[in-house]
Amino acid sequence: MADATTVDAVTVIVTESLSKRFPRVTALDRLSVDIAPGVTGLVGANGAGKSTLIKILLGLAPATEGSAHVLGLDVTKDGSTIRERVGYMPEHDCLPPDVSATEFVVHMARMSGLPPTAARERTADTLRHVGLYEERYRPIGGYSTGMKQRVKLAQALVHDPQLVFLDEPTNGLDPAGRDEMLGLIQRVHRDFGISVLVTSHLLGELERTCDHVVVIDGGKLLRSSSTDEFTQVTASLAIEVTDTDAQPDGTGALRAALEGAGVTVTTAAGGAESLASSGHLLYVEAAGEETYDLVRDTVAGLGLGLVRMEQRRHQIAEVFRDADAAQATPAPAPAGAPRAPYATQDGGAHDVA
Ligand SMILES: Nc1ncnc2c1ncn2[C@@H]1O[C@H](COP(=O)(O)OP(=O)(O)OP(=O)(O)O)[C@@H](O)[C@H]1O
């Protein structure tokens, strides 16, 4: 068994070439990833393998091959110790309708080994922390979706774990409810020092909430990096110009002129889209101040109007676009694995298939 004290400081989760194969589906495919303390987002479409990974990390399902450690503990041998130290908020509704939140969370605290008085005290504190007050004495069956999600979060936190796995905690919530849940998740780490692994298919949510984002698709790791790296300001310029009578295709003329001057020019999807569908936007890799001057002078030389020239930020959604562009032919989806579009926070969607 690995030494939990030394591993904890650097990583809370380590997987090496972790695979899970079902008879007709490969849910995880040689996934190697290190996750540090903090709030980490695990993003992937429906069927990407998120829930399967969580079940393996909790020691609830065996991997087909590879290894995984949580808080320095081996998932194949130390499942029960891992479950003592890790809280788990499952994706699906799993709450008994006939008992109150207080009764249910006290029960879960007792199951985690807390003595009766401590279980009651911790339950009261935790339910207050997630924003349930008088309602906590009413049967859960009458709760709204948002209240049920809070109860699920409370039972994951009640035994004061070092790490929590939150599987799609914003599922079924309206925008205000989502914002409240995301705020709670950030406070779990900020106020209590509990590390969080939170799954979502909403990229914008993770962008706002997490320190680090791990992206998986079809059970494979697409990318693992800090949220800042995903969204950093790049040296890429977005340029939009007007057409004129002399230059009815101003964008095309500018592109040709810039390429003639040795500048790399792409459209929104790295050249994969037509200019018309990319909204007449050109992207130019800026080598320095001189690129700005060159664009300005070229636009002026062509007699075009410069509508926009701005630095652009990478969005997490680009991970999927880049991956698509890198694939000459898209990888076949695992049998039975639906490929839902990724939704961005602003309601936009990006299909990774
Ligand atoms: N017990 C099982 N038997 C067979 N196939 C399974 C089983 N559990 C999961 N799968 C398949 O493994 C793939 C990954 O599923 P998983 O639930 O991990 O995805 P996910 O990313 O959590 O998606 P979702 O958000 O929809 O739950 C899917 O194709 C799913 O159908």
Query: Can you tell me the mean pLDDT for 292-317?
Result: 84
For residue range 130-185, what is the model confidence (pLDDT) as tens digits? 999 889 999 999 999 999 999 999 999 999 999 999 999 998 888 889 999 999 99
Nearest by Cα to 188 from 209, 205, 168: 209
In this structure, the residue with its CA closest to atom 11 of ligand 1 is 27
Q: Return the ligand 1 atom nearest residue 201 CA.
A: 25
Residues 6+ apart with CB under 8 A from 302: 247, 250, 253, 254, 257
- Does the CB atom of residue 37 touch ligand 1 within 6 A? no
Closest residue by CA, ligand 1 atom 4: 22
State whether the beta carbon of 50 lies less than 6 angstroms from ligand 1.
yes
CATH of 4-230, one of 3.30.70.60, 3.40.50.720, 3.50.50.60, 3.40.50.300: 3.40.50.300
Nearest CA to ligand 1 atom 18: 49
106 CA distance to ligand 1 centroid (A)? 31
292 or 205: which leads in pLDDT: 292
137 lines ligand 1 (CB under 6 A): no
What's the confidence (pLDDT) of residue 110? 95
Cα of 74 from ligand 1 centre, angstroms: 23
How confident is the model at residue 277, as a pLDDT? 42
pLDDT in tens, 12-40: 999 999 999 999 999 999 999 999 999 99
What's residue 335's pLDDT? 40
Q: Is the pLDDT of residue 267 over 60?
A: yes
Which residues on adjacent β-strands are paired with residue 166? 89, 198
Q: What is the structure's pLDDT at 323? A: 60
Q: Tell me how far the alpha carbon of residue 314 lies from the centroid of ligand 1, in angstroms.
A: 29
Does the beta carbon of 85 sit less than 6 angstroms from any atom of ligand 1?
no
> Which pLDDT score, from 0 to 100, does residue 82 have?
95
Q: What b/e string do you get for 230-240 counting C-beta neighbours within 10 Å, with b at 16 or more?
A: bbeeeebbebb
Contact yes or no for 225/213 (Cβ under 8 A): yes
The pLDDT value given to residue 285: 81
Spatial distance between the Cα atoms of 111 and 158, rounded to a whole number of angstroms: 11
Give the residue, by CA position, lying nearest to ligand 1 atom 29.
337
Band of residue 79 on the pLDDT scale cut at 50, 70, 90? very high
Q: Are the beta carbons of 86 and 161 closer than 8 angstroms? A: yes
Whose CA is closest to atom 26 on ligand 1? 46
| Ligand 1 nearest-atom number relative to CA 216 | 21
CA distance 343 to 316: 11
Q: How much distance in Å is there from the Cα of 53 to the middle of ligand 1?
A: 10
Q: What is the pLDDT of residue 316?
A: 59
For 228-239, what is the mean pLDDT?
Answer: 73
Query: What pLDDT was estimated at residue 274?
Result: 38
* Index of the ligand 1 atom closest to the CA of residue 91: 27
Asked whether 47 lines ligand 1 (CB < 6 A), one says: yes
ipTM of model: 0.95
CA distance 38 to 58: 18
Q: Is the CB of 31 under 6 A from ligand 1?
A: no
Domain parsing of the chain, residue ranges:
4-230, 233-313
Question: Which tokens sit at 187?
Answer: 């406070």
| Reported CATH class of domain 233-313 | alpha beta
Average pLDDT over residues 324-342: 44
Protein residue with its CA nearest to atom 2 in ligand 1: 22
Centre of ligand 1 to C-alpha 51, Å, is 7
Q: Which of 163, 172, 4, 190 is nearest to 87 (CA)?
A: 163
